[in-house]
């Protein structure tokens, strides 16, 4: 699916459905000027065909917002925004039922992509209150619909990518505080969201269709945008003090994907009981995390002889790293958890038709944390040219390591510090490992013809050299890293 990011589109949608509450008086003109200032801080230009004041209502007609960055452009037209002073110190804002937008993205060595956007809403209520330096919005949104139609410019035969999205039962708050810049705090809930998409891969010509439904959605965010920064240059904006935090959650969700690939048709469906996503970004660090519960996937793929399915009790990921130079070390996190993964008997039968392997639920846990420094701004052009991120690791803790699969279990933990004075990081510390059921698993795999006998013998020899038996088909090993580069396994020098 070739679907490009729309510069600023999410921000525009956020304003159209924004929210809050306060007690001080505010005028329609103050609301209008504050809104323009907010969008200019994000790199937009705002223009109007007319600004009319009649009685207690200020009406902006033909409002156009434009943004352009690095060969991409985005504009949206709102035919009318009416701001009515209620007489109680608040302003009631209403929008045209339909708003139209266009996004153009230039792709290197390819024809530009054009996205036409249509947004519709009905009976949305937005109340603005507070003071110019601390405006608060409160909204209720019965329904909001967006349609997006992407085409390849100059290619009349290209199959367009079409996206349709509907959000219902929305309400929330949106607060903007002015103090050496802007602090924007928002929270919202949605009763549900449905999205469909269809199109074709321009390289293979294969078509696809997707459908997703989410329920009980929640959203919270906090953004700090200092004065004088350029939001079109994210690296410079973060270095200048910009900060962003987003928390997103959802209840039961379903998904369906169908596609025609060069290898044949593909059908997939999914069900999730609940999930969360967290995103944090500042000039010093970046974090991306999420959880899921009750995942089930069914698939019918042309390259497989039968339909397959899988389910998982829960999953979790958490990744964090430094992104800019700092006087202090920044957190490093690498966490991946897949709990109680079960695949269908049909999938097992592809390589174990006689059911010789245990089919207990599988679990994977990798939980790492530590400290590190970015040697330069990771958003800089210089960093983008490097094969790996220029990050210096100072400390790494293995909080938990576990792989439970087919009757064998590997667990471990440890802590390492790194001496970076010589250029190549030199670890100092130790790692404790435990392995149970490995001999039994290798024996079964060898009998099934999946593991050559010589490879099994080599693995057993390595365990004999570097591991200590502690029970029936169970071994442990302590790996120590000493200053000067010496490495020991259970006290035996191996380097």
pLDDT in tens, 231-289: 878 888 888 899 999 999 999 999 999 999 888 899 999 999 999 999 999 999 999 99
Is 399 part of a structural domain of the chain?
no
pLDDT of residue 157: 58
Is 274 part of a structural domain of the chain?
no
Is 484 part of a structural domain of the chain?
yes
pLDDT of residue 158: 65
Q: Do residues 244 and 216 make contact, with C-beta atoms less than 8 angstroms apart? A: no
pLDDT of residue 43: 83
Query: pLDDT below 70 — which residues of the chain?
Result: 1-24, 153-159, 202
- Helices 28-41 + 9-16 axis angle, to 10: 160
> What's the total number of domains in the chain?
1
* Residues constituting the chain: 495
Q: Do residues 380 and 407 make contact, with C-beta atoms less than 8 angstroms apart? A: no
Q: Which residue range forms the structural domain that includes residue 421?
A: 407-495
pLDDT of residue 141: 93
Is 455 part of a structural domain of the chain?
yes
**Nearest partner of 331 among 272, 390, 391, judged by Cα:** 391
Is 298 part of a structural domain of the chain?
no
pLDDT of residue 155: 65
What is the rounded distance in angstroms from the CA atom of residue 186 to the CA atom of residue 183? 10
Is 163 part of a structural domain of the chain?
no
Is 462 part of a structural domain of the chain?
yes
pLDDT of residue 159: 64
pLDDT of residue 202: 66
pLDDT of residue 17: 44
pLDDT of residue 176: 92
pLDDT of residue 436: 97
pLDDT of residue 421: 80
């Amino acid at each position: 699916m070739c679907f490009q990011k729309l510069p600023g589109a999410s921000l525009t949608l956020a304003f159209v459905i924004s929210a809050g509450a306060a007690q001080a008086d505010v005028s329609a003109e103050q609301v209008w000027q504050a809104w323009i200032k907010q969008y200019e801080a994000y790199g937009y230009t705002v223009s109007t065909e007319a600004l009319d004041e009649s009685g207690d209502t200020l009406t902006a007609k033909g409002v156009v917002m434009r943004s352009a960055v690095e060969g991409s452009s985005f504009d949206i037209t709102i035919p009318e925004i009416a701001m009515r002073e209620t007489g109680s110190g608040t302003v009631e804002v209403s929008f045209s039922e339909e708003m139209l937008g266009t996004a153009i993205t230039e792709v290197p060595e390819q024809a530009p992509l054009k996205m036409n956007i249509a947004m519709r809403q009905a009976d949305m209520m937005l109340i603005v209150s507070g003071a110019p330096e601390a405006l608060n919005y409160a909204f209720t949104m019965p329904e909001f619909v967006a349609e997006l139609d992407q085409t390849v410019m100059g290619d009349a035969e290209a199959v367009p990518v079409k996206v349709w999205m509907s959000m219902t039962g929305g309400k929330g708050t949106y607060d903007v505080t002015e103090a050496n810049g802007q602090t924007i705090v928002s929270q919202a809930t949605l009763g549900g969201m449905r999205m469909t998409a269809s199109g074709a891969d321009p390289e293979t010509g294969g078509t696809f269709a997707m459908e997703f439904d989410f329920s009980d959605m929640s959203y919270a965010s906090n953004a700090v945008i200092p004065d004088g920064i350029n939001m079109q240059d994210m690296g410079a904006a973060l270095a200048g003090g910009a900060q962003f935090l987003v928390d997103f959650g959802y209840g039961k969700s379903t998904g369906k994907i169908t596609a025609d690939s060069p290898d044949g048709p593909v059908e997939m469906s999914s069900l999730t009981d609940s999930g969360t996503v967290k995103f944090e970004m500042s000039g010093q660090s970046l974090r991306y995390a999420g959880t899921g519960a009750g995942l089930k996937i069914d698939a019918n793929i042309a390259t497989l002889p039968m339909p397959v399915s899988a389910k998982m009790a829960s999953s979790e990921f958490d990744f964090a790293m430094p992104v800019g130079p700092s006087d202090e070390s920044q957190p490093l996190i690498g966490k991946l958890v897949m709990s109680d993964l079960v695949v269908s008997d049909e999938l097992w039968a592809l390589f174990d038709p006689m059911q010789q392997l245990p089919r207990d639920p599988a679990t994977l846990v990798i939980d790492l944390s530590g400290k590190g420094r970015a040697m330069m701004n990771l958003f800089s052009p210089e960093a983008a040219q490097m094969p790996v991120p220029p990050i210096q690791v100072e400390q790494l803790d293995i909080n938990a390591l576990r792989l439970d699969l087919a009757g064998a279990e590997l667990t471990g933990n440890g802590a390492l510090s790194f001496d970076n004075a010589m250029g190549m990081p030199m670890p100092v510390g130790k790692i404790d490992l435990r392995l149970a059921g490995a001999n039994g698993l290798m024996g079964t795999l060898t009998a099934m013809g999946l593991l050559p006998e010589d490879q099994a013998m080599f693995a057993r020899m390595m365990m004999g050299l570097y591991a200590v038996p502690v029970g029936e088909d169970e071994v442990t090993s302590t790996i120590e890293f000493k200053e000067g580069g010496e490495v020991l396994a259970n006290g035996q020098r191996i380097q």
